[in-house]
């Protein structure tokens, strides 16, 4: 999905976006 090329910026950006989505998804469960 986010593995276009062996780029580091894309990888980091993808990880950040994924983490953000997961955090928002579990925001209701882990709302600190």
Q: Give tens-digit pLDDT for 11-32.
A: 888 889 988 888 888 766 665 5
Q: Are 13 and 5 in contact (CB under 8 A)?
A: no
Tell me, what's the pLDDT at 23? Answer: 84
Which pLDDT score, from 0 to 100, does residue 9 have? 80
More reliable by pLDDT, 31 or 5? 5
At residue 15, the pLDDT reads 87
Split at pLDDT 50, 70, 90, the class of 4 is low
pLDDT over 60 (residue 1)? no
Cα distance between residue 12 and residue 10, in whole Å: 5
Residues 6+ apart with CB under 8 A from 19: none
């Amino acid at each position: 999905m986010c593995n276009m090329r062996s780029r580091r910026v894309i990888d980091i950006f993808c990880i950040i976006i994924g983490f953000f989505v997961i955090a928002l998804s579990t925001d209701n469960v882990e709302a600190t």
